[in-house]
Structure 1
């Protein structure tokens, strides 16, 4: 398979230094060789340009969302690059950076496929809006905007309106939700699999339930967006917003194996590694293992 690696050195969505260094950090530790060893034709498309913004200008747009204009610009560019990659028959592997980049990657997928779904592995919901977010950090808002909810600046990235139907969104591993997110989940009847459900029923049950819904809803293409904080911080401490009681690496791998087996995953994000918080490269090595595991199967 042809794999296009796209680096997005973005930390404005999380408003925390360090996540922007992850793409180059992973490259320096063998990212491309890991992909190629599985027989893929891998191309490093480099890093998207992220314009510098002074911290005192984070609210320059006069609203509650930090660094809005720059994040919109970067995501528009990312969406175009992901769309071009898919249109050319390749698999876009987007390396972040914070999870606000999911706006661009999934928007690019949405231009290619109107029958796509999103599997979003994350400790958080990422379904706040500018009205419900307690922080104003846009990395907590991408999934709601992709469903057409929230501020029009985010909803209309790359193309007007929602990019994915709410019934085609699957949130896995959540364990830290704001009240506004809980209300949105109830209202939109989202498919959410929090850690208490995973502990009660097992990760195999979750994977099978998602696959059943994918088949029933006639989803033929999947965007797989992975936040490393979905994994318990015992194993993945190098991330900006760790939450205890997450997935074990074994649970994570079992879930990935089950989802990849249906051969519908067409694109992937790996986000929120922060090398500056990563003691002894523990999380870095885990990220490389994740990529190795995925590339062995697609």
Structure 2
């Protein structure tokens, strides 16, 4: 793994419906994200936060795409900043913010890879469009957008589309899907490990298969980790919790196996909401998972 790491915060709460996730980057910094990686021998720079319009300033629209103008604006800036980080020879570690920021992160990273693989840890598919979304919240559309599916103002962020291909993506931990997402998964043949597969196969097997899948013909792998992929018992501070998720140890095992495989070239940790949390527990979990991803071991 690249020994130079650049941390960039995106305090975005415009892509979802519950306040507080804009404080996620601060919560993870307070949980010593930078210091944790420095102790592992990484050279870490914290580049601060990308400015995000306040929710009170958002514009209305009639497209079932809430805060479309603002989400496009922030993700375009994010794409450019992430691209600069990669071009500068550093590993982009992005702190969210809601999961709509994956649109910009992947747009920036994919400029530098011909076939980018993606591992998507999430309780949800994030495969909706304005036509299929029950809520209009863009954080539930970010993976679809990255695949080139959705409104052209979103898919066109970064100046090209699609950013990734279905055959290079794996979703892990899913346990809540809308009907439109189920249809799209079947239509494009997306590789998905629901909690049924995790329970039936075990996390070791799931990760072995996932790692094999995203490294077939790819030249880089992005990790997009939504903290609601974990069970609410272990990560209570998220906006859209779903019971029956990945355990703390399963999640660490996944990160440890990714570290051993040495395939991750960029990462984002999103949807930490301190307002809904208990003593910053979820941010601490996020930072602990970062430690495992970057090679932290007990012995």
Give the direction of change, closer, same or farther, for the CA distance of 1:86–1:297 in structure 2 (3 Å limit).
Answer: farther
Q: Please name the residue that 1:7 is paired with.
A: 9
TM value normalised by structure 1 = 0.95
Residue aligned with 1:211, SS: helix
Shift of 1:25: 2.1
What pairs up with 1:272-283 in 2 under 5 angstroms? 272-283=271-282
Cα distance between partner residues in 1 of 2:169 and 2:56: 35
The 8 Å contact of residues 220 and 264 in structure 1, kept in 2 or not, is answered as no
Q: Deviations over 1:205-235 (max 9, x none)?
A: 11111222234x3112100000001010011
- Unaligned 5+ segments in structure 1 are none
TM value normalised by structure 2 = 0.95
What pairs up with 1:1-298 in 2 under 5 angstroms? 1-54=3-56, 57-58=58-59, 60-215=60-215, 217-296=216-295
Cα distance between partner residues in 1 of 2:149 and 2:270: 22
Shift of 1:281: 2.1
The 8 Å contact of residues 117 and 164 in structure 1, kept in 2 or not, is answered as yes
Shift of 1:87: 1.0
The 8 Å contact of residues 92 and 267 in structure 1, kept in 2 or not, is answered as yes
The 8 Å contact of residues 10 and 25 in structure 2, kept in 1 or not, is answered as yes
RMSD of aligned alpha carbons: 1.5
Instruction: Compare 23-32 and 164-173 and name the one that shifted more.
Output: 23-32
The 8 Å contact of residues 120 and 172 in structure 1, kept in 2 or not, is answered as yes
Residue aligned with 2:93, SS: strand
The 8 Å contact of residues 171 and 191 in structure 1, kept in 2 or not, is answered as yes
The 8 Å contact of residues 214 and 221 in structure 2, kept in 1 or not, is answered as no
**Residue-pair matches, total:** 295
Shift of 1:53: 4.0
Shift of 1:247: 0.5
Residue aligned with 1:183, SS: helix
The 8 Å contact of residues 228 and 239 in structure 1, kept in 2 or not, is answered as yes
Cα distance between partner residues in 1 of 2:114 and 2:203: 28
- Unaligned 5+ segments in structure 2 are none
Instruction: Compare 255-264 and 228-237 and name the one that shifted more.
Output: 255-264
Instruction: Compare 83-92 and 278-287 and name the one that shifted more.
Output: 278-287
Residue aligned with 2:45, SS: strand
